[in-house]
Structure 1
C-alpha cells in the first residue's frame, strides 16, 4: 500500500530514505514533500544500477534505507501480495556486510488503502511486525548462508555466477522470513 512507508517510519522512530519512482515527484507539492523528507527519486528506464547507486549514497552517509525486496509494492488486489524478491537488497547487503537488514512487514495497510484507491479507511487496523536484524556477514557465516568465512566470500566475489546465486539465496530467504512474519 502507499501507506507502508509512513508506518515503517513511525515504527522505526527515525527517518528512513526510500527509493521512489519518478512519478511520485511529478506533482510539485508531492515533490516538495518527497525531497524535504529525503526520499530518493529513481528512474526505472535507467535500470536498477541507478537506484542502487543512490541507495549506496544513503548507506555511505550512515542513514537508514527503506527498500522493498520485491522492487515495488504489490498492486494485487487479493492475497498473497508478497512477490518474488529482486536481488538489489542482497547486493546492497553484500556491499555493506556489517549493516543490519531489518525485516519489516505491514499487515492491514492493503485494507486501509487498496491499490489504486485514493480513499484511506482510517478505521482499519494496521500492524507493523519487525524481525531480528541480520547483516550479510552474519548470514553468510550461518548455515543458511553456507557457513562461509570472509575469505570464502572474497574468493566467491571473483565469480559473478557464484555471487548471483548467493544474492538470490539471501533474497529468497528474506522473502520467506517476511512470509513467515505474516506478510499477506
Structure 2
C-alpha cells in the first residue's frame, strides 16, 4: 500500500536521510522504512516536505513537468512595492532561465498560525520587513530566494505551507502525519 508522509521540516534540517557532516537530517525525525522525499526543501527553509515509498507518486509530485503548485510564506527585507510584484509575476532572469510566480499576495504581518523559528531571524532595527504568500509551479533550486533577491528583497525566512492540495494543517515542526491510501489517491490526481 502506498505511503505518503506529510512532514513539517524544521529550520536547519537536510531534506535527506544520509548524513552530511554534522548537519541534522530527516533520520532524526522520521523512522519509516523505504520512504524518500518527493522534492526538496533547502536546509535553511522550513515547512511542508512530502515523502513517499511510491516512485510514481514521488515523480508526479517532484518533477517540474507536473507543474504542481507550491505555496510559500516568505519574510523579506524591505517593503515590496507593486512594481516588484509585477516583475515577479511577469518573470525575472535567474542564472540561465526565466522564473515567474503564479501569484503573490502581500500579507498584513506574520500569519498568526506560524510558529516561531529557532533560532529567530536576524532583524535590523532600521530595516523594515514584510511577509508575502507566493505560489510557484516551477520549483527550481532556491527559486523563491533568487527571484526576490533579483528585485532587491533578500529573503529572511521561507516556509512552504502547501504542495498541490496537501497542507501542513496543524502539524508542528519536526512532526509528521502518514496519510491513508484514499487521501493519497484523491490528492495526487
Name the TM-score class by shorter chain.
under 0.3
Structure with the greater relative contact order (CA < 8 A, sep ≥ 6): 1 or 2?
2
| Bigger share in helix | 1
Structure with the higher strand share, 1 or 2: 2
Output the TM-score relative to the length of structure 2. 0.24
